[in-house]
Amino acid sequence: MKVLWCWRCKAEVPMLDEDEFKRVSSQLHTEASTKEQMFGDFLLEYKRITGIPETNPNAIFHHRASLYGRACSYCGKPLRSPLANVCASCGKPVARCKA
């Protein structure tokens, strides 16, 4: 887990790495009949890992570090995706890394 800027939340939040996201998503009960049954353990596992008592399950789905790109060389905030050409936060064009 690392703390990164979330452009949707407009705040720095804990972003899960892939192993942590698997742990959290394994607690999602899609066959449940109520929201509490479906998301209760999911939200609890996120809190165990991050210490943050998130109440919106949708936020957790985008608090996943692999969805974001590297830090912008101008403002330092993460790009919206690994393939971004422009920083959504400061509007500056960014050079793509060549593999």
Q: What integer pLDDT is reported at residue 98 of this predicted model?
A: 53
Instruction: Calculate the dihedral angle through the C-alpha atoms of 19, 73, 95, 3, rounding to the nearest 10 degrees.
Output: 10
> Could you please report the per-residue DSSP string of 21-40?
HHHHHTT--TT-SSHHHHHH
Q: What integer pLDDT is reported at residue 96 of this predicted model?
A: 65
- pLDDT tens figures, 18-67: 999 999 999 999 888 999 999 999 999 999 999 999 999 999 999 999 99
> Where in the chain are the domains?
2-67, 69-99
Full-model pTM: 0.81
10 Å CB burial of residue 3 (0-12, 13-18, 19+) is exposed
Nearest alpha carbon to residue 75 among 15, 1, 5: 5
- Given a cut of 50, whether residue 99 has pLDDT beyond it is no
Task: Write the CB contacts of 48 (distance below 8 Å, at least 6 apart in sequence).
Answer: none
Q: What integer pLDDT is reported at residue 82 of this predicted model?
A: 92
- pLDDT tens figures, 38-48: 999 999 999 99
